[in-house]
Amino acid sequence: MVAQAVNSVRGWVEVALGLLWPHRCPVCGGVAGEPETGRVCANCEETIPRITGRQCEVCSRPFPINFSEAFVCQSCRDRQFHFVASLAPVEARGTVRDMIHRFKYGKQRWLAEPFALWMAELSSDHRIKLEEIEGLVPVPLHKKREKERGYNQSLLLAEALAKKWKKPVLPVLERVRYTETQTHFDRKERMQNLRVAFRVRAGAELQEKKFLLVDDVFTTGSTLDECARTLLDSGAGAVWAITAARA
């Protein structure tokens, strides 16, 4: 009788935990091979467009041809970003695009975990020295947008990644303008739309420190560029960026 009750309690606890932190494949919903939160199952892993080969040194745009030297894409040669480099583990297409959508608009906050697992694999990327990074700075949402959505997806990513890298999350930026959704804008329009959209919070000490910006998707890089510019203008020493995916 007691054992039965214990089992039933344990069962309910597992159900409750499963709802909070499902040990399920984030792509197919099947039980993943190992009980690790957010790990994609072996079958689905093959469908993930990883960025592992040759890519732009600055924006991580994948490049099909294997150059032997470091490669900077045309659009990064035309334009000087304020961040040193922006890293991304996967491309935002196929199953990843769907995951991003569920993460941003479907209230599936737990998807920060699988993305953070992939992002964490970039710890040894030659473009960044983690030990020099002061902390992870999430790209902020405007308060109004955050209220509508219920959360800031970039903050969730920063928190999940910070835990794996044992770095602090430093939410030193705030969004002061409620900008239009950027989806239908080209690069120039995006830059105009973002002008003076961010500022450093009062009291934040940035002096010469190095920061890593965290965002969900790298599309044109305009949002990250504007955030990096804001940090540098307030005295930061250097800024890198990392996103869950690269469009």
Residues that bind Zn ion (CB under 5 A): 25, 27-28, 30, 41, 44, 56, 58-59, 61, 73, 76
Q: Is 40 exposed, middle or buried (0-12, 13-18, 19+ CB in 10 A)?
A: buried
Task: Output the smallest distance, CB 22 to Zn ion, in A.
Answer: 12
Question: Within the chain, how many helices (H) and strands (E) appear?
Answer: 9, 7
Q: CA–CA separation, 128 vs 61, rounded Å? A: 17
Q: CA–CA separation, 63 vs 28, rounded Å? A: 29
Task: Output the smallest distance, CB 29 to Zn ion, in A.
Answer: 7
CB 191 within 8 A of CB 221: no
* CB of 112 or CB of 169, closer to Zn ion: 112
* CB of 11 or CB of 30, closer to Zn ion: 30
* CB of 24 or CB of 104, closer to Zn ion: 24
Task: Output the smallest distance, CB 86 to Zn ion, in A.
Answer: 9
Helical segments of the chain, H only = 2-20, 42-45, 74-78, 95-105, 112-120, 143-149, 153-165, 187-194, 222-233
Task: Output the smallest distance, CB 192 to Zn ion, in A.
Answer: 21
Task: Output the smallest distance, CB 166 to Zn ion, in A.
Answer: 29
* CB of 76 or CB of 224, closer to Zn ion: 76
* CB of 44 or CB of 84, closer to Zn ion: 44
